[in-house]
Protein backbone atom coordinates (compact mmCIF):
# COMPACT_ATOMS: atom_id res chain seq x y z
CA UNK A 1 0.00 0.00 0.00
CA UNK A 2 1.41 3.34 -1.08
CA UNK A 3 0.47 6.41 0.94
CA UNK A 4 3.27 8.56 -0.43
CA UNK A 5 2.40 12.25 -0.64
CA UNK A 6 -0.23 11.99 2.12
CA UNK A 7 -0.01 13.42 5.62
CA UNK A 8 -1.56 11.52 8.51
CA UNK A 9 -2.47 13.11 11.84
CA UNK A 10 -2.85 10.56 14.64
CA UNK A 11 -4.12 11.69 18.03
CA UNK A 12 -2.78 10.00 21.15
CA UNK A 13 0.15 8.56 19.23
CA UNK A 14 3.21 8.69 21.48
CA UNK A 15 2.67 5.05 22.52
CA UNK A 16 0.58 1.94 21.97
CA UNK A 17 -1.94 1.67 19.15
CA UNK A 18 -1.49 5.26 17.99
CA UNK A 19 2.28 4.90 17.63
CA UNK A 20 1.85 1.56 15.85
CA UNK A 21 -0.50 3.18 13.34
CA UNK A 22 1.89 6.09 12.80
CA UNK A 23 4.76 3.70 12.12
CA UNK A 24 2.70 1.67 9.65
CA UNK A 25 1.64 4.81 7.79
CA UNK A 26 5.25 5.96 7.63
CA UNK A 27 6.25 2.53 6.33
CA UNK A 28 3.67 3.07 3.56
CA UNK A 29 5.28 6.42 2.72
CA UNK A 30 3.00 8.89 4.49
CA UNK A 31 4.27 11.87 6.43
CA UNK A 32 3.00 11.70 10.00
CA UNK A 33 2.05 14.06 12.80
CA UNK A 34 2.25 12.53 16.26
CA UNK A 35 0.28 13.93 19.19
CA UNK A 36 -0.35 13.67 22.90
CA UNK A 37 -0.97 16.03 25.83
CA UNK A 38 2.66 15.95 26.98
CA UNK A 39 5.54 17.86 25.40
CA UNK A 40 8.78 16.10 26.28
CA UNK A 41 12.07 15.49 24.52
CA UNK A 42 11.03 11.85 24.26
CA UNK A 43 7.86 12.82 22.39
CA UNK A 44 9.81 14.78 19.79
CA UNK A 45 12.44 12.02 19.60
CA UNK A 46 9.71 9.56 18.55
CA UNK A 47 8.94 11.74 15.54
CA UNK A 48 12.64 12.06 14.73
CA UNK A 49 13.03 8.28 14.90
CA UNK A 50 10.13 7.74 12.48
CA UNK A 51 11.54 10.31 10.07
CA UNK A 52 14.95 8.62 10.16
CA UNK A 53 13.72 5.03 10.00
CA UNK A 54 11.20 5.46 7.19
CA UNK A 55 12.51 8.46 5.24
CA UNK A 56 9.38 10.57 5.68
CA UNK A 57 8.58 13.87 7.33
CA UNK A 58 7.40 13.46 10.91
CA UNK A 59 6.71 15.88 13.71
CA UNK A 60 5.17 15.94 17.15
CA UNK A 61 2.46 18.45 18.07
CA UNK A 62 1.31 18.82 21.68
CA UNK A 63 -2.45 19.24 22.15
CA UNK A 64 -4.80 18.32 24.98
CA UNK A 65 -7.63 16.29 23.48
CA UNK A 66 -9.92 17.15 26.40
CA UNK A 67 -10.09 20.73 25.08
CA UNK A 68 -12.00 21.39 21.87
CA UNK A 69 -10.00 24.45 20.88
CA UNK A 70 -6.73 22.51 21.14
CA UNK A 71 -8.19 19.65 19.08
CA UNK A 72 -8.96 22.07 16.29
CA UNK A 73 -5.60 23.83 16.66
CA UNK A 74 -3.85 20.48 16.23
CA UNK A 75 -5.28 20.22 12.73
CA UNK A 76 -4.16 23.77 11.97
CA UNK A 77 -0.68 23.16 13.39
CA UNK A 78 -0.32 19.95 11.40
CA UNK A 79 -0.26 22.10 8.26
CA UNK A 80 -1.92 19.36 6.25
CA UNK A 81 -4.26 16.50 7.10
CA UNK A 82 -5.12 14.00 4.38
CA UNK A 83 -5.65 11.20 6.89
CA UNK A 84 -7.08 11.74 10.35
CA UNK A 85 -6.88 8.98 12.94
CA UNK A 86 -8.81 9.71 16.13
CA UNK A 87 -7.12 7.41 18.62
CA UNK A 88 -6.74 9.37 21.88
CA UNK A 89 -8.49 7.74 24.80
CA UNK A 90 -8.55 7.15 28.54
CA UNK A 91 -10.37 4.70 30.80
CA UNK A 92 -11.86 4.54 34.30
CA UNK A 93 -13.67 1.61 35.90
CA UNK A 94 -16.39 2.07 38.52
CA UNK A 95 -20.03 1.25 39.14
CA UNK A 96 -22.50 3.81 37.80
CA UNK A 97 -23.53 5.11 41.21
CA UNK A 98 -19.89 5.55 42.20
CA UNK A 99 -18.58 6.84 38.87
CA UNK A 100 -16.86 10.21 39.48
CA UNK A 101 -18.59 12.86 37.35
CA UNK A 102 -15.24 14.44 36.51
CA UNK A 103 -14.03 11.09 35.12
CA UNK A 104 -17.19 10.79 33.02
CA UNK A 105 -16.64 14.28 31.61
CA UNK A 106 -12.98 13.61 30.86
CA UNK A 107 -13.65 10.29 29.10
CA UNK A 108 -16.44 11.71 26.96
CA UNK A 109 -14.28 14.73 26.09
CA UNK A 110 -11.15 12.78 25.14
CA UNK A 111 -12.68 9.60 23.71
CA UNK A 112 -15.60 11.15 21.81
CA UNK A 113 -15.79 14.95 21.64
CA UNK A 114 -12.17 15.26 20.48
CA UNK A 115 -13.04 13.26 17.35
CA UNK A 116 -15.90 15.64 16.60
CA UNK A 117 -13.60 18.66 16.87
CA UNK A 118 -10.72 17.24 14.82
CA UNK A 119 -13.02 15.88 12.13
CA UNK A 120 -14.93 19.15 11.84
CA UNK A 121 -11.62 20.99 11.47
CA UNK A 122 -10.13 18.55 8.96
CA UNK A 123 -13.04 18.02 6.53
CA UNK A 124 -12.95 21.39 4.74
CA UNK A 125 -9.31 20.90 3.67
CA UNK A 126 -9.99 17.28 2.67
CA UNK A 127 -12.84 18.46 0.45
CA UNK A 128 -10.65 21.16 -1.05
CA UNK A 129 -7.87 18.64 -1.72
CA UNK A 130 -10.35 16.18 -3.24
CA UNK A 131 -9.33 13.27 -1.01
CA UNK A 132 -9.49 12.31 2.64
CA UNK A 133 -9.66 9.47 5.11
CA UNK A 134 -11.02 9.49 8.66
CA UNK A 135 -10.25 6.46 10.81
CA UNK A 136 -11.73 6.39 14.30
CA UNK A 137 -10.37 3.94 16.83
CA UNK A 138 -13.42 2.60 18.60
CA UNK A 139 -13.39 -0.71 20.48
CA UNK A 140 -15.16 -4.02 20.80
CA UNK A 141 -16.89 -2.02 23.53
CA UNK A 142 -18.31 0.19 20.79
CA UNK A 143 -20.39 -2.81 19.72
CA UNK A 144 -21.03 -4.56 23.03
CA UNK A 145 -20.87 -3.70 26.72
CA UNK A 146 -19.32 -4.70 30.04
CA UNK A 147 -20.20 -3.61 33.56
CA UNK A 148 -18.37 -0.76 35.31
CA UNK A 149 -17.21 0.97 32.12
CA UNK A 150 -20.19 3.25 31.48
CA UNK A 151 -18.33 6.30 30.19
CA UNK A 152 -15.92 4.36 27.99
CA UNK A 153 -18.70 2.28 26.45
CA UNK A 154 -20.93 5.31 25.91
CA UNK A 155 -18.04 7.13 24.21
CA UNK A 156 -17.08 4.19 22.00
CA UNK A 157 -20.68 3.61 20.93
CA UNK A 158 -20.79 7.32 20.16
CA UNK A 159 -17.63 7.11 18.05
CA UNK A 160 -19.27 4.52 15.83
CA UNK A 161 -22.33 6.75 15.43
CA UNK A 162 -20.10 9.72 14.61
CA UNK A 163 -18.26 7.57 12.05
CA UNK A 164 -21.51 6.68 10.29
CA UNK A 165 -22.68 10.28 10.21
CA UNK A 166 -19.32 11.45 8.86
CA UNK A 167 -19.49 8.78 6.15
CA UNK A 168 -22.98 9.87 5.07
CA UNK A 169 -22.04 13.54 4.99
CA UNK A 170 -18.99 12.80 2.80
CA UNK A 171 -20.52 10.00 0.70
CA UNK A 172 -20.39 11.98 -2.55
CA UNK A 173 -16.87 13.22 -1.87
CA UNK A 174 -13.70 11.11 -2.31
CA UNK A 175 -13.59 10.93 1.50
CA UNK A 176 -14.28 7.88 3.64
CA UNK A 177 -14.85 7.45 7.37
CA UNK A 178 -14.53 4.13 9.16
CA UNK A 179 -14.04 2.83 12.68
CA UNK A 180 -11.71 0.10 13.88
CA UNK A 181 -12.95 -1.90 16.86
CA UNK A 182 -10.04 -3.62 18.60
CA UNK A 183 -10.40 -6.22 21.29
CA UNK A 184 -7.51 -6.54 23.71
CA UNK A 185 -4.30 -5.30 22.09
CA UNK A 186 -0.85 -6.06 23.49
CA UNK A 187 0.39 -2.54 24.14
CA UNK A 188 3.16 -1.60 26.60
CA UNK A 189 0.44 -0.56 29.06
CA UNK A 190 -1.29 -3.95 28.88
CA UNK A 191 2.06 -5.75 29.09
CA UNK A 192 2.88 -3.86 32.29
CA UNK A 193 -0.39 -5.03 33.87
CA UNK A 194 0.33 -8.73 33.43
CA UNK A 195 2.72 -9.24 36.41
CA UNK A 196 0.32 -7.57 38.88
CA UNK A 197 -2.58 -9.61 37.52
CA UNK A 198 -0.53 -12.79 37.93
CA UNK A 199 0.00 -11.94 41.60
CA UNK A 200 -3.64 -10.97 42.14
CA UNK A 201 -4.98 -14.27 40.77
CA UNK A 202 -1.99 -16.44 41.71
CA UNK A 203 -1.78 -17.68 38.13
CA UNK A 204 0.90 -18.22 35.54
CA UNK A 205 1.37 -15.66 32.80
CA UNK A 206 -0.28 -17.97 30.25
CA UNK A 207 -3.29 -18.64 32.47
CA UNK A 208 -3.76 -14.97 33.31
CA UNK A 209 -3.70 -14.02 29.64
CA UNK A 210 -6.09 -16.75 28.48
CA UNK A 211 -8.47 -16.99 31.43
CA UNK A 212 -8.54 -13.45 32.83
CA UNK A 213 -7.42 -10.83 30.35
CA UNK A 214 -8.67 -12.60 27.22
CA UNK A 215 -11.67 -14.25 28.84
CA UNK A 216 -14.05 -12.67 26.30
CA UNK A 217 -11.69 -12.91 23.30
CA UNK A 218 -12.32 -16.34 21.70
CA UNK A 219 -8.98 -16.49 19.88
CA UNK A 220 -7.20 -16.26 23.26
CA UNK A 221 -4.56 -14.16 21.55
CA UNK A 222 -3.91 -10.45 21.81
CA UNK A 223 -4.20 -8.34 18.71
CA UNK A 224 -1.01 -6.39 17.98
CA UNK A 225 -0.32 -2.74 17.32
CA UNK A 226 1.08 -3.81 13.94
CA UNK A 227 -2.27 -5.35 13.05
CA UNK A 228 -4.03 -2.14 14.06
CA UNK A 229 -1.63 -0.18 11.85
CA UNK A 230 -2.11 -2.54 8.93
CA UNK A 231 -5.89 -2.35 9.20
CA UNK A 232 -5.79 1.45 9.32
CA UNK A 233 -3.44 1.58 6.32
CA UNK A 234 -5.76 -0.70 4.32
CA UNK A 235 -8.73 1.57 5.07
CA UNK A 236 -6.69 4.46 3.66
CA UNK A 237 -5.66 2.60 0.51
CA UNK A 238 -7.27 2.59 -2.91
CA UNK A 239 -8.61 -0.89 -2.19
CA UNK A 240 -10.96 0.61 0.41
CA UNK A 241 -12.37 3.45 -1.69
CA UNK A 242 -15.90 2.04 -1.34
CA UNK A 243 -15.61 1.09 2.31
CA UNK A 244 -17.16 3.85 4.38
CA UNK A 245 -19.36 4.05 7.45
CA UNK A 246 -18.23 0.65 8.68
CA UNK A 247 -16.99 -0.69 12.01
CA UNK A 248 -14.16 -3.16 11.40
CA UNK A 249 -13.70 -5.59 14.29
CA UNK A 250 -10.17 -6.76 15.11
CA UNK A 251 -11.11 -8.62 18.25
CA UNK A 252 -10.35 -12.33 17.88
CA UNK A 253 -14.06 -13.13 17.58
CA UNK A 254 -15.24 -11.20 20.66
CA UNK A 255 -18.23 -9.58 18.98
CA UNK A 256 -19.14 -12.80 17.16
CA UNK A 257 -20.34 -14.31 20.44
Half-sphere exposure of 117 (CA within 13 A, CB side): 23
Global pTM value = 0.96
pLDDT per position as a tens digit, 186-219? 998 899 989 999 999 999 999 999 999 999 999 9
Domain ranges across the chain: 7-185+224-256, 186-222
Asked if 17 and 189 touch (Cβ cutoff 8 Å), the reply is no
Q: What values do phi and psi take at 183, rounded to 5?
A: -85, -140
60 is catalytic: no
Question: Beta strand 31-36 with 7-10: parallel, antiparallel or unpaired?
Answer: parallel
Across the chain, the runs of DSSP E, i.e. the strands, are: 7-10, 31-36, 58-62, 83-86, 132-137, 175-182, 247-250
pLDDT of res. 189: 85
Residues 9-31: what's their mean pLDDT? 98
Q: What is the CATH number of domain 7-185+224-256?
A: 3.40.50.720
Residues 166-191: what's their mean pLDDT? 96
Band of residue 111 on the pLDDT scale cut at 50, 70, 90: very high
pLDDT of res. 1: 78
pLDDT of res. 206: 95
pLDDT per position as a tens digit, 157-171? 999 999 999 999 999
Amino acid sequence: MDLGGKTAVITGSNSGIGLGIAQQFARAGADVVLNSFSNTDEDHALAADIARDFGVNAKYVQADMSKGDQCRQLIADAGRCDILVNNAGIQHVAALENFPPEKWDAIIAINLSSAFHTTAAALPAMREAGWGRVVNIASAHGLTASPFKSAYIAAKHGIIGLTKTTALETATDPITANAICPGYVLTPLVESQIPDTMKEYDMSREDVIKNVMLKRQPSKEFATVEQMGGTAAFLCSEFADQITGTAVSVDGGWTAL
